[in-house]
Copies of this chain bind each other. A is one copy, B any other.
């Protein structure tokens, strides 16, 4: 079968064997924001038409392609949900020459009853379940970081933190960013920011300190972005990490390494996984489908 992880800014396709192995892969900067409404079928054909031409006719999609702004909106499936639950909830999309099925996102509510949504991360989680086992905690860092609980081999629930998007907005659009040139993360400053997140006063107070440390020459321009990143990720991990928990990290290796650093510093046990969780999840969910 063919698995496609189709997100807001990128398109990644995998040709998958019966055993779930990745036989071939390709990627394009063809996220749903770059596809005109009504042209998703054309976009898919342009990317994987040659694979389909060899006779492959089973395609599974995941990600924001199933959102209101995507090809077709697939209603969220509520937690708890596992691979079989997701496979039963796939949406069929008419497409000439192949059976195209869309994995729905997952919804949940937090302890206060506020809704949660994910699209795409559920597939990465399903792809990582064999490593997590029946019960565990996983974190998917990003613009909207997810912390998921796995119970009895299913995704039991999760919470989201707007950390990555807040970082970009604060860095790009406040006085804090004026002194932050691009460059590699200064890990010493990152750790300082993580430490700062433990102080009283709250995040909004801590943010102003990024400015004053720079004003008084206690934080260099090249270090300030790392400090801000550590401060925000520190706040997230302190709020989300169950004490002493083993945390499976899924996502971009550089960002996962920063989260692993914070989780370790705060008494958790980080475990990093490779970046092919989506492909494995597409294969596992696809394997549960009755294609005939």
Contact = CB atoms under 8 A, between A and B. Distances in A.
Interface of A: 110-112, 114-117, 144, 159-163, 165-166, 168-170, 172-176, 196, 199-205, 207-209, 211-213, 215-216, 218, 232, 235-236, 238-240
A204 B112 contact: no
A235 B176 CA distance: 20
A111 B200 contact: yes
A15 B159 CA distance: 56
B239 A204 contact: yes
A203 B202 contact: yes
Contacts of A204: 161-163, 166, 203, 232, 235-236, 239
Nearest to A202: B239
21 contacts: A111-B200, A111-B201, A112-B201, A114-B196, A115-B212, A115-B215, A115-B216, A115-B218, A117-B215, A159-B205, A160-B205, A162-B174, A162-B208, A166-B174, A168-B174, A169-B170, A172-B173, A173-B173, A200-B239, A201-B239, A202-B239
B239 A205 contact: yes
Q: At the interface, is chain A mostly helix, strand, loop or mixed?
A: helix
A170 B114 CA distance: 20
Q: In the complex this chain forms, how many copies of it are found?
A: 2
A176 B213 CA distance: 29
Contacts of A170: 166, 169
A177 to B, nearest CB: 9
A243 to B, nearest CB: 14
A199 B111 contact: yes
A169 to B, nearest CB: 4
Contact of A165 (B112, B161, B175): B175
A266 B4 CA distance: 49
B208 A160 contact: yes
A146 to B, nearest CB: 10
Contacts of A160: 205, 208, 212
A238 B174 contact: no
A217 to B, nearest CB: 10
Contacts of A200: 111-112, 239
A166 B207 contact: yes
A145 B287 CA distance: 55
Interface centre among A114, A115, A236 (most CB of B within 10 A): A114
A237 to B, nearest CB: 10
